[in-house]
Every structure is written in structure tokens, then in C-alpha cells.
Structure 1
Amino acid sequence: MTGQAAASVLSMEDEIVVRALQPVFHSGLFRVYTNTDLLGCELGGVLKNIIAIAVGMGDGLGAGDNTRSALMTRGLSEITRLGVAMGGRAETFAGLTGMGDLIATCTSPLSRNRHVGVELGRGRPIEEIIAGMNMVAEGVKSAPTVIALAEKHGLDMPIARDVFDVTQGKRSAQDVFRGLLRSAVGDEAHPG
């Protein structure tokens, strides 16, 4: 609406219908892509909110660009592992509803989830942050379910676990980020 280029994904399982609807929405500066991986698209939209809280916590603590980049990259790996375990396609998470949405949510000053993370990083309690918001930060509400799904599928999601712990008041953002310095490292391509 402001005249800036934007892209979106129209997702439906029916390839014929989604391709027929694409030109209805696609215009000029607004590019519309299609994806029949409805589950993957939905999961990308939910899971990126948790990573945005983690990125916000780092920003609130004064961490730099390298920390933000690492959290987003490793967060995308977590999102992809869970999404694929639940039946989504890996390539969906490399696209607009995965990486694209993750970048926007983790870097935008308008992101509610990033805002929650920034305030947690500054030491504010979650109840106070939520009480002061007019809109919902979805990552706070979805974190318990995401952790339960990760456990169900036998997956390690350390960033999501840290966000869950902080939003549940079990640990502080400062404790979580101190823990990053002591955490075990492994193979980037084949996480444990």
C-alpha cells in the first residue's frame, strides 16, 4: 500500500485451484507465489515467532549483528527439522514462508514477537510486557506447544527451549545468553 515491493505465498493443497487464484492477487509490486505444502507454510508462520523472540532478547541485551545472524540461521534449522518431522517439505522453509518470514519478523521494528524479546532482554518480566501490549505476540502462546511437538518427534530445539524457559519465567534472558557461551557445539549440517 505504501508503494514498496512485496511478496507473499498463496498456499493450498490443490495445485489447480492455487494456480487459478494466483493471478487474482498478483499485481505490479505485489508478487504472489504458490506452494502446495500447506502444512509447511503454516508451520513456518508459527515457528518464526519463537525465533524472533530469541533475536529480540539478543537485541535487548545489546548483542550484535553476528549474534542475530547466528540465531536466525540456527533458528531456521530448528524450524526446518520440526517442520519436516511433521510432514512439511524442507524447501518450503527455505522460501518466503520460512526464511523470508523469519527475516522480516526477526528484523522489523514493528514485530510484536521481536518486541517481546527486546523487553525480556532488558530485564522486564513477561507479565508486564504482555499487559502493556494491545496485540498478541504469538510466539509466547505457541512456545509450549512447539516444545511438546519437538519432544514428541524426538528433536532438540535449543533456541525454542530457551525462549520457552524465559517466557515461562523459568530463566532470564541474561541466563540464556550466558548459556550460549558454554553450550556444546556440533556439526552444523547434521545437528544432534
Structure 2
Amino acid sequence: MPDGTERRTGPGGDDVTGVVVGVLVDPDRHPGPAPEPGEALSLAHSVHTGGMHLRVESHTLPGRNCGPGPGFPKVSEVEVAVQRKDRPDELLEPQPGDAPTATWTLPCAFTVDGALHGPYVQNRLGGRFVYLSWLGRRPGEEVSRMFRRAKLMLADVAPQVLAEARLSGVLVARLALTDAQGLPLCGRVLPPAIVWSAGEPSDA
């Protein structure tokens, strides 16, 4: 699927089915002032005080067919995508489950209290996170629908990494998408299963 597109699987949470394609438009980025010569870098003088990007880099995908697993039967035509905030039917750039890698670049920004927010950052009880949603066709069904999700917890980003990412304008998450049973990764994804780092400014 081309970059910057979304798939809608219809209303109804985890059991939705339809498909609609749209276009994602990233917000403008607004660099902040540079620090004075000899002045220590700090969040008060960050290069990117507002708009920045969160890039999810994944590898070791489980394949196009999987299961059965807890809560679902055998599933085919597996894909994975990023869910839009509070809209489980809007999925960004679904990638095939047998791809060697899958990458998504998400627009985001810092709130006044230093937390990340954006169109793909969920904000629920327990913290902010990004949803990776798994889609597939169950036996006897003609249309793919969600069958499990993984949560990339932003609260687990180390303060130093977050500060460096705020300076560069890019926060990077790297992880494998297959669990110990060979199934699509799901649930809360915590270090060391996910590695957070600051990216280079040119990476966005």
C-alpha cells in the first residue's frame, strides 16, 4: 500500500470489517531556537519544541498465516498497521505479515508537561502508547478484521532518550513482531523487547 494511506475496517472495535482508503497529511514542524554558544543543551532550548516524528521500525514478522492462538482460530492474509487514536477502524499503512521489515513514521508533538501526543498516540488509563493492530481472515470469512493488538508504551522511554529525541525531532522504536510462540506480537511491549532511541534530524 502506498505511503501515507489508511485503511478503515468499519466501526465496531475489534470485530470490524469494511475497507476505505484515505490520505494522511503530516502537520508542519516548527523548530525552536538554537542554544547559545557554550550553553548546555536542555529541553528549554530544544531544536524541536513542537512537531516531531515517532518512527516505528519492526522486523521478524510472523508470516501471512498464523494460529490458532489465544482468543482466535487460524488466521490467513495477516497484515499489521498502526491504529489512529481512539479509532480502531482507521489503520495506517497496513503491511503484509511476511514482509522482512515494516516501518511507520508518525507525526507527534510534546504537550506543555512534556508528554507526547498526536493522531496515533493513544491516551488511556495507564499511560500513552501506540497500537499496532493485526488483521487477518478467519476460516469462512471473506474480509479481514482485527484479531489482536500490541501496545508500545511511551511511558517506558527513558527520560534521557526522550530529551535527545526532543532535540533531534525523531524518536525511534525498534522491535521484533513475532512472540515466543511464533504468533503476532500482542499486549504491552516493554524493554528489552522494544528498544527506544533518538533518531537523526534527517531521519524524519
Under a length normalisation based on structure 1, what TM-score does the superposition of the two structures give?
0.26
Structure whose residues are more often strand by fraction:
2
Under a length normalisation based on structure 2, what TM-score does the superposition of the two structures give?
0.25
Structure whose residues are more often helix by fraction:
1
